[in-house]
Amino acid sequence: MNAPLPESIRRALETVTLDDKYALETGQAFMSGVQALVRLPMLQQQRDATAGLDTAGFISGYRGSPLGGYDQALWQAQKHLAAHQVVFQPGVNEELAATAVWGTQQLDLYPQSRKHDGVFGIWYGKGPGVDRCSDVFKHANMAGTAKHGGVIAIAGDDHIAKSSTAAHQSDHIFKACGLPLFFPASVQEILDMGLHAFAMSRFSGVWAGMKTIQEVVESSASISVDPDRVKIVLPEDFPMPAGGLHIRWPDAPLEQEARLMNHKWYAALAYVRANRLNHTVIDSPHARLGLISSGKAYNDTRQALHDLGLDDAACRRLGIRLHKVGVVWPLEATITREFATGLQEILVIEEKRQVIEYQLKEELYNWRPDVRPNVLGKFDESEGDLSGGEWSQPNPSGNWLLRAQADLTPAIIARAIGKRLLKLGGLDTDTRAHVEARLALIDAKERALAASTQDTGDRAPWFCSGCPHNTSTRVPEGSRAVAGIGCHYMTVWMDRSTTTFSQMGGEGVSWVGQAPFTTDRHVFANLGDGTYYHSGLLAVRQSIAAKVNITYKILFNDAVAMTGGQPVDGTLRVPEMTRELDAEGAKRIVVVTDEPRKYDGVTGLAPGVTVKHRDELDAVQRELREVPGCTVLIYDQTCATEKRRRRKRGTMATPAETVVINELVCEGCGDCSVQSNCLSVEPVETPFGRKRRINQSSCNKDYSCLKGFCPSFVTVTGGTLKKPQRDAAHDPHRGPPLPDPVLPRADSAWGIVVAGVGGTGVITIGQLLGMAAHLEGKGVVTQDAAGLAQKGGATWSHIQIANRPEALYCTRVGTAEADLVIACDPIVAAKKDTLAVMREGRTHVALNTHGAPTAAFVGNPDWQFQGGRCEAVIEQACGGAAQVGRFDADRLATALLGDAIYTNPLMLGYAWQKGWVPLGEAALLRAIELNGVQVERNRAAFAWGRRAAHDLAAVQALTATAQVIAFVKKPALDELLATRADFLTGYQNAAYAQTYRPSSTRCAPPRRRCSRPGSPRRWRATCSS
């Protein structure tokens, strides 16, 4: 029996709602970093009202991972924002959005007409958006902010190019534009530092920059939303110049520059100093080694120290001083000098190129050699000449201590700290042993992963089932195309004759530089409709002006699918687009669509524009490539994922036709995959060989697979898929009571990694675990993956749970630190990224053995799921078969609940019943209820998972659905021949079967060769077909 719940948990189960993140006035709320950015302006307006100010807020920017969902979150919170006088107006592009935010600060120049005491502003954009906004930032920052306004420019950086065409780091752009830069390390700090950033901006007249990265802004945690949590201290030691620091008119450029450089930056530094935004976290009376870090790298440093066995007390005992930097530029001098005083050595721990390190070295440069600490960061000490620097010869790249490329991890940082500690000496025996053991574990894990040669397959991102790009990005034989920004960028790793790409808004313009110097006469350029409206029209204009032969394929998908299906900003539709392009001078414009009839009666198209069915795409492209000059093909078909969303909401009709494949007729040639490029066409192993079937759970009813004109395809009109049985035997709640598992304690961080395929609910499982932990009052942090990873590729959700929030440092589970891996997909679970978190004897794995086909199957009909290899490497990584619970969860979910989408909650129930999840059932079920999506089905899936963990055979006995890529034992050749003959007799008659026997016998191998491995292969294939 379940023990009675503590009163605090019982109350939380009854009172917590998803609206708490925006509506709760005090206390703890569970929210993501993106949602914290939504709550931030509400808190600011609330604090202003308490102070007697009538202020409003204005938010504008342009979406992009890791801030790809910010605009959606703002729209969803519209009623809450409106109640706090916050207006959200997305920008057509980043620099125009920044200009609009600049305008809010100019309201003080018109006091007679302004409605409020002030308007504070938020700009947001992806790293490349920061790059293109530098001109606006410089002008607006020099002009200044309003007394009761203030601006934060929020950058979303992708340090590892996870969802970007290039890794980026906005720190140096903010510095070049003169914006002080905040770097929050957690969801809580997004709120806290955000309030400080507004206050600094108001006090000093500068725009405040804020850097966010995926590990922080796409993480979720239980945080305090108390409006008076942050105590603002205005500096008393800063001499305010005559006239102040705020925006004014008129204002000459050189006067603005002088005010910025002589006063505003120093006012910002005074604010940092007064509020101790940079501060020492751990100190020692005999400190000798200083660690200085910020943002995510600070979290990783805390985790690295923990992994090395160095808690706060151990650090104080060993003479380690840890310093946390909240504002990374400009680096406040007084606090920095306090930190550095008395140290022998300082290790600067920061991701990407140096920001803090260079400033620290400059600050300490004139210190006497006998008191100046040695500063290390990116590079270790040279073995020989110590007088050189980063740009010395020979190139020091082989001497990296903390690399500048990619990112840092707790393991990398632990190795650097351990190396410096061992070199400095003075460690007691136990500490040295613990440090060396952790470093040995890291080295052993890396060696094991490097030595692994098992080919377990790769799950690369791919177009969604039914995606328009499956058809629209094809080019005629003999032509080539260039890519751009958007989902269609994935064509660069598909067989689409598409190579190279440009920055957003530069699509196709590289051809202007190539055309005079090549024998190629023409290229195609892919251009998304969102990019077209953002800046892509200028690329088309440039190509028209240059008179090059190019065909722009504008992929009009009615949504910005890559970042969540947002509408394209503005009202431009296909008819208006054709008139705009015609006015620009396009030589010919053709609209290609899957629904030509919707253009019947449309009168707004430009003169000469024709509308063609998508079946004519190849012919249209062949015609356009022969037309001199710039031509345009507008491919009009709604995004498949957006179609699915609209059908679920009831705003779009679901087609009546359902496509199925008659496996007895199918010859397994794979032409349907070639025609459709679709992952919903899956292999299925049958007694008659490999065939194809349609995965009805993921099919979006695009019907491109019918282009193969294959007789095995059957179209059913008006029918619905057969639902699972609903009798008592198929009700997970009607069976005998299950024993309650013994749940693990989470005195320290309990690490869970959910590994699966993007778009199947991996992130949802992370959110359910996070909310359940929040309901129980535990410390929790989750970190999700988004962007390209969700397009059918590998994705992960990391969850860390502890009884005390103070026990959690990182948002990601570190090297060999996972207690549980919920392996929703075996291929992703067998990737080195997942294997790296497993530790022998510690990690348990709930493994779904179902092998969904990867993108490789589209082009290779003989693709094989390497399930055995996947299981072998997983077992090796976690310490043996006893650590793994395995079953085909897809098959059970489909058979018991009618859809494979319930696989992941079923896996969660399985892991919980095994005693691998440190949360109560009541909290998990309430989290499912709060999620509000197919609540009863998801609860049933969780319950079935529990039963599968308790008695797998009994649950499997209730199902009989064939498994995708099941391993079928091959019969003897004589037995195979007899079985086929019997089948043909039943199908028609014995005479018909007799016609089969001679043809197969002619292909039979000689008896003397039958024992040789592989010799009967041709005969077996003939008999099976």
**pLDDT at 1024 (0 to 100):** 58
Mean predicted confidence (pLDDT) in 555-560: 81
Question: What pLDDT is stored for residue 1 in this prediction?
Answer: 47
Q: Does 969 or 401 have the greater pLDDT score?
A: 401
Closest CA to 835 of 789, 876, 782: 876
What are the sequence ranges of the domains in the chain? 21-274, 278-382+398-450, 469-638, 650-660+675-717, 733-956, 973-1024
| Spatial contact of 153 and 203, defined as CB atoms under 8 Å apart | no
Question: Please, which pLDDT band fits residue 1013 given cuts at 50, 70 and 90?
Answer: very low
The number of beta carbons lying within 10 Å of the beta carbon of residue 106 is 17
Residue 778, class by beta-carbon neighbours within 10 Å (0-12 exposed, 13-18 middle, 19+ buried)? buried
Instruction: Find the range with the poorest average confidence among 131-140, 523-532, 961-970.
Output: 961-970
Q: What is the mean pLDDT of residues 498-502?
A: 94
Residue 965's pLDDT is 47
Strands (E), 350-483: 374-376, 481-482
The pair of structure tokens assigned to 100 is 């609009």
The residue to which tokens 């990407």 are assigned: 352
User: Could you confirm whether domain 733-956 is CATH 3.40.920.10?
Assistant: yes
Q: List, for residues 70-104, the tens digit of each pLDDT value.
A: 999 999 999 999 999 999 999 999 999 999 999 99
Q: What is the pLDDT of residue 3?
A: 72
Q: Is the model more confident about 721 or about 625? A: 625
Looking at domain 278-382+398-450, its CATH architecture is: 3-Layer(aba) Sandwich (3.40)
Q: 469-638 belongs to which homologous superfamily?
A: Thiamin diphosphate (ThDP)-binding fold, Pyr/PP domains (3.40.50.970)
Q: Name the nearest CA neighbour of 663 among 642, 690, 641, 698.
A: 690
Q: What confidence tier does 568 reach under pLDDT thresholds 50, 70, 90?
A: low
pLDDT score of 723: 74
**Residue range 714-732, pLDDT digits in tens:** 999 988 877 776 665 678 9
d(CA 677, CA 641): 16
Distance CA 641, CA 515 (A): 37
DSSP secondary structure of 303-326: HHHHHTT--HHHHHHHTEEEEEES
Q: Please give the CATH architecture assigned to the domain spanning 21-274.
A: 3-Layer(aba) Sandwich (3.40)
Provide the pLDDT confidence category of residue 669 given band limits of 50, 70 and 90: very high
* pTM, to two decimals: 0.93
The vertex-322 CA angle with 318 and 328, nearest 5°, equals 160
pLDDT at 987: 78
pLDDT tier at 272, thresholds 50, 70, 90? very high
In this structure, what token pair is assigned to residue 121? 């502003």
How high is the pLDDT of residue 1014? 46
Mean pLDDT of 600-612: 95
**CB contact at 8 A, 888 and 851:** no
pLDDT at 337 over 60: yes
d(CA 621, CA 640): 23
Sign of CA dihedral 955, 960, 965, 966: positive
> Cα–Cα distance between 17 and 23 in angstroms, integer?
9
In the predicted structure, residue 1005 carries a pLDDT above the cut 60: no
- Read off the pLDDT of residues 345-362 as tens digits, 9 standing for 90 and up: 999 999 999 999 999 999
Question: What average pLDDT is seen over the chain?
Answer: 92
**How do residues 293-318 score in pLDDT, each as one tens digit?**
999 999 999 999 999 999 999 999 99
Highest mean pLDDT among 204-213, 396-405, 682-691: 204-213
Tokens of 516: 């005079």
The answer to which of 328-332, 377-381, 918-922 has the lowest mean pLDDT is: 377-381
Confidence class for position 790, pLDDT limits 50, 70, 90:
low
Least confident stretch, 251-255, 380-384, 782-786, 1010-1014: 1010-1014
* Cα 887 to Cα 954: distance, rounded to the nearest angstrom: 13
pLDDT above 90 covers what percent of the chain? 81
Q: Classify 788 as helix, strand or coil.
A: helix
**Residue carrying the six token digits 């136990």:** 430
Q: What is the pLDDT of residues 358-386, one digit of tens each?
A: 999 999 999 999 999 999 999 988 765 55
216: Cβ–Cβ under 8 A, 6 or more apart, which residues? 33, 184, 185, 186, 187, 190, 295, 296, 811
Q: What is the pLDDT of residue 235?
A: 98
Same fold, 469-638 and 733-956: no
Residue 243 has pLDDT above 50, yes or no: yes
Q: Around 638, how many Cα atoms within 13 Å sit in the side-chain half-sphere?
A: 17
Please give the share of the chain, as a percent, with pLDDT higher than 70. Answer: 92
Which ranges of 243-289 does DSSP label H, i.e. alpha helix? 253-259, 265-275
Task: Tokens 């600070």: give the residue.
Answer: 298
